[in-house]
């Protein structure tokens, strides 16, 4: 991959249990330094539309040459779980979900019992290829689709300037915090 690889990082806005739809911000960057665009969509809190909404956001954006999608975590808006393999297949773009720390899969499975369609959501989560990577501070966990482990790790290196969080996700998080 080239250092100036085009990547879109997606993160959701802060939300409460009372929210029906939650904004999701996408930040299109080249590598870790050049911001080229900002996208906005929304998803249903604890719903089932995140995969379709992210795919439509990319398709409708008009952006060309995107080489990967970075997602902040396994789901948006509570438990609106992304089908990572389905998203990579639908968009034709590799996908990497990024999480600081190590997800507690048992706690997630238990929490899913409180939202609609827990079996489908658990299916998407349990089939993910999770890899935990040590760092000098907090480990990070990634899941990937449409890309192999080494390429996913290389993508993180190309898009992370300082600290642990890739720049497209860090910037998406900042914008999403005011997108309500």
The predicted-structure confidence for 52-65, as pLDDT tens digits, reads as follows 999 999 999 988 89
- The answer on pLDDT for 180 being more than 80 is no
| Phi (first) and psi of residue 135, to 5 degrees | -135, 180
pLDDT interval class at 179 (50, 70, 90): confident
Please state the rounded mean pLDDT for residues 10-38.
Answer: 95
The predicted structure's pLDDT at residue 165: 97
Q: What is the CATH number of domain 6-176?
A: 3.30.2170.10
The predicted structure's pLDDT at residue 173: 97
The predicted structure's pLDDT at residue 1: 83
The predicted structure's pLDDT at residue 134: 94
78: alpha, beta or left? (left if phi > 0; alpha if psi -120 to 50): left
The predicted-structure confidence for 140-172, as pLDDT tens digits, reads as follows 999 999 999 999 999 999 999 999 999 999 999
For the chain, domain boundaries? 6-176
- The pTM score is 0.96
> Are the C-beta atoms of 175 and 167 separated by less than 8 Å?
no
Give Cα separations from 22 to 28, 36, 77, 80, 178 (angstroms).
20, 23, 6, 10, 12
The predicted structure's pLDDT at residue 39: 98
The predicted-structure confidence for 73-114, as pLDDT tens digits, reads as follows 999 999 999 999 999 999 999 999 999 999 999 999 999 999
Q: What is the mean pLDDT of the chain?
A: 96
Strands 34-44 vs 21-30: parallel, antiparallel or unpaired: antiparallel
């Amino acid at each position: 991959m080239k250092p100036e690889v085009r990547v879109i990082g997606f993160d959701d806005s802060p939300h409460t249990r009372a929210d029906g739809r939650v904004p999701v911000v996408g930040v299109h960057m080249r590598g870790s330094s050049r911001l080229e665009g900002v996208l906005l969509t929304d998803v249903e809190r604890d719903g089932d539309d995140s995969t379709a909404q992210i795919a439509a956001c990319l398709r409708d954006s008009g952006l060309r040459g995107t080489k990967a999608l970075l997602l902040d975590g396994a789901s948006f808006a509570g438990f609106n779980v992304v089908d990572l393999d389905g998203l990579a297949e639908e968009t034709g773009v590799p996908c990497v979900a990024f999480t600081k720390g190590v997800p507690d899969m048992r706690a997630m499975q238990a929490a899913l019992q409180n939202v609609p369609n827990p079996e489908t959501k658990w299916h998407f989560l349990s089939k993910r290829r999770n890899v935990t990577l040590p760092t000098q501070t907090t480990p990070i966990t990634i899941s990937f689709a449409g890309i192999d482990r080494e390429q996913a790790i290389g993508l993180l290196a190309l898009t992370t300037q300082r600290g642990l969080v890739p720049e497209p996700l860090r910037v998406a998080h900042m914008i999403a915090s005011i997108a309500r």
